[in-house]
């Protein structure tokens, strides 16, 4: 079974509405993602699905949290046994397996890679990330967030997360997702 772009969280919850459909979630997501989902408490009252940054308790994206989360996930993945470390180049530094560039890996994956550029430009932000080349990733993220409303911040964080997720899918599962699908999912369409 594959996730359709219009899949909602409801479909991952058992009909009793009090517990996750653990088997389905394990089928659909990478092991560490499934674990993270299962650990999210299910609200007791009915709520409308909204776009949230799930790491923040209030659902609002916080850049420091996101940045540390990405770092932590990276370290977590490095510890995974039986994982082919195919993103490692000859010298042990990570290389983007979409374009085989190896400079400043996180900045590349989240902003400067062609894949990321297309996603940012095609997103509602209409960003041209080549304008940011040379700028540190963290300062770029903070700069962007400073100009944004809360809702936009959530979407921005969500897209960062999607880029990292797409990278994980490619590195660990060998699955390359078309950008449109990522975008649609990110925007909850």
Q: Which is nearer to Zn ion, 113 or 166 (CB)?
A: 113
Indicate if the alpha-carbon torsion angle 156, 159, 165, 166 is positive or negative.
negative
Residue 29 CB-density burial (10 A; 0-12 exposed, 13-18 middle, 19+ buried): middle
Q: What stretch of H or E contains 159?
A: helix 150-168
Q: Which tokens go with 110?
A: 């989240």
- Tell me the closest approach of the beta carbon of residue 120 to Zn ion, in angstroms: 13
Task: Give the separation between CA 157 and CA 150, rounded to whole angstroms.
Answer: 11
Applying CB under 5 A, among 98, 117, 118, 177 the residue interacting with Zn ion is: 98
Q: What is the nearest approach in angstroms of Zn ion to the Cβ of residue 167?
A: 9
Q: Write down the least CB distance from residue 108 to Zn ion, Å.
A: 6
The number of helix segments (H) and strand segments (E) in the chain equals 8, 0
109 or 183: CB nearest Zn ion? 109
Q: Does 113 bind Zn ion (CB under 5 A)?
A: yes
Choose, by CB under 5 A, the member of 3, 42, 99, 133 that binds Zn ion.
99
Using the rule CB under 5 A, give the single segment among 55-63, 99-107, 118-126, 128-136 that binds Zn ion. 99-107
Interface stretch with Zn ion, choices 20-28, 71-79, 111-119, 152-160 (CB under 5 A): 111-119
At its nearest, how many Å lie between Zn ion and the CB of residue 164?
13
Closest CA to 109 of 121, 120, 96: 96
Can residue 96 be called a binding residue for Zn ion (CB under 5 A)? yes
As a whole number of Å, the end-to-end CA separation of the chain is: 19
């Amino acid at each position: 079974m594959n996730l359709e772009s219009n899949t909602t969280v409801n479909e991952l919850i058992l009909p009793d509405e009090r517990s996750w459909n653990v088997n389905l979630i394990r089928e659909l997501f990478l092991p560490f993602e499934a674990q993270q989902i299962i650990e999210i408490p299910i609200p007791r009252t009915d709520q409308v699905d909204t776009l949230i940054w799930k790491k923040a308790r209030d659902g609002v994206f916080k850049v420091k949290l996101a940045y540390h989360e990405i770092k932590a996930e990276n370290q977590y993945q490095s510890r995974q046994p039986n994982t082919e470390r195919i993103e490692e180049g000859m010298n042990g530094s990570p290389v983007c397996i979409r374009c085989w560039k190896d400079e400043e890996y996180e900045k590349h994956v989240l902003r400067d890679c062609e894949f990321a550029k297309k996603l940012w430009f095609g997103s509602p932000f209409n960003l041209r990330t080549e304008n940011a080349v040379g700028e540190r990733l963290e300062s770029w993220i903070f700069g962007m967030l400073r100009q944004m409303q809360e809702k936009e911040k959530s979407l921005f964080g969500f897209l960062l997360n999607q880029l990292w997720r797409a990278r994980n899918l490619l590195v660990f599962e060998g699955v390359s997702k078309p950008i449109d699908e990522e975008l649609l999912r990110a925007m909850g369409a």
